[in-house]
Amino acid sequence: MRFLTIAAVALLACIFAPRTPPESARVAAPRPALPVLEACAPLRFAVIGDGRAGFPGVGPSAYKRAILGEVLARAPAFIVDTGDLVRDSDDPAEWARFLDTLPAKTPYVAVRGNHDVGGFYGHELAPGPVFAHRLGPVLLVGFDSEGRHDADVRARVAQVDAAFAADDAPWKVLIMHRPIWSHGPHGSNERGLNRILVPVLDRHRVTVVFSGHDHDYERVCASVGHGPEHRCDPAGTHYVVTGGVATFTTHWPTGSDMETSRAFSGSRHFVEVEVSGGEMTITTHRTLAGNVRPPAVIDRVVILRPGPCG
């Protein structure tokens, strides 16, 4: 019964959301700058994804504001969004409502999702289709996996390669929208990028890839290789799908090949990343907003990488 109530609230919130954006949303305010940190400074940041509404003309999902409130209570240095910021990218009112959800004091970094492709998408949150930020011990690289033509997207992989090659940060993180590996409805390798992208990640020993697109949470085993050579390897790259701010989520994986999946959930959630010395802890929190079950830790993994910071 409570599940039906939550679904009904989500539907009503989407249908009866105000059609005129608030005055404060019509002009984007200057965004807070990312922090400048010492090379080995401890760091906490959050990752969310797929916070679009389930219906056109609305913008953010019915749970976006409440989940952001729970994220901000954890005091992250910044928030990363894996894309699908709005449902209809050609509707300026949806973008206005999205901008109105952004926190006033916490930096917010996003990549474009497939629903964000269109003339109104700006680069206030993502300074170009490929970008890199050095944040203390973490190199954060953003990769726009979207576009009208697959050839244009494939050409960006060389820029991702160059971004990782240019910085010897002890922790390397890639954010993109479409998953490399996923057992959700969209599945793995939807745009056929794995053949050229996975070797780049393996060569640079990228720590973790965060993506969205599938409206669920999944952590796939640390791995190397692609195609028939893909195999779990504790020294490889970790892969996390986080699409848990969506209006509607997927509660069951698709397909029967679940050997590489380490955790899967349809709960609404956010991911918290903590870096201290030679340790990165990735914790996934089930939120109060949008769930029948109470808040709890869905999944946690600790990655150890001895290096210059510990």
* Residue 148, pLDDT above cutoff 90: no
Q: Which of 136, 179, 144, 181 is CA-nearest to residue 160?
A: 144
Bridge partner residues of 175 (DSSP): 142, 210
CA distance 275 to 277: 7
Superfamily of domain 2-26+40-304: Metallo-dependent phosphatases (3.60.21.10)
Instruction: Give residue-wise pLDDT tens across range 281-305.
Output: 999 999 999 999 999 999 999 999 9
pLDDT of residue 137: 97
Mean per-residue pLDDT, 122-132: 78
For 60-63, the CB contacts below 8 A with 24+ separation are 60/85, 60/86, 60/97, 60/98, 60/101, 61/10, 61/245, 61/246, 61/247, 62/9, 62/10, 62/13, 62/14, 62/247, 62/290, 63/10, 63/245, 63/247, 63/268, 63/287, 63/289, 63/290
pLDDT of residue 126: 73
pLDDT of residue 256: 63
pTM of the predicted protein model:
0.90
pLDDT of residue 52: 94
pLDDT of residue 246: 92
Instruction: Give residue-wise pLDDT tens across range 34-88.
Output: 999 999 999 999 999 999 999 988 999 999 999 999 999 999 999 999 999 999 9
pLDDT of residue 1: 44
Mutual orientation of helices 157-165 and 194-203 as an angle, nearest 10°?
A: 0
* Residue 122, pLDDT above cutoff 90: no
Q: Is the pLDDT higher at 118 or at 175? A: 175
What average pLDDT does the chain have?
Answer: 88
Q: Is the pLDDT higher at 140 or at 118? A: 140
* Residue 150, pLDDT above cutoff 90: no
pLDDT of residue 257: 73
* Residue 123, pLDDT above cutoff 70: no
Going 61 to 85 to 236 to 282, the CA torsion angle's sign is negative
Looking at the chain, the whole-number percentage of residues with pLDDT higher than 70 is 88
CA distance 114 to 91: 14
Q: Is the pLDDT higher at 120 or at 2? A: 120
* Residue 258, pLDDT above cutoff 80: yes
Where are the domains positioned within the chain? Answer: 2-26+40-304
pLDDT of residue 236: 97
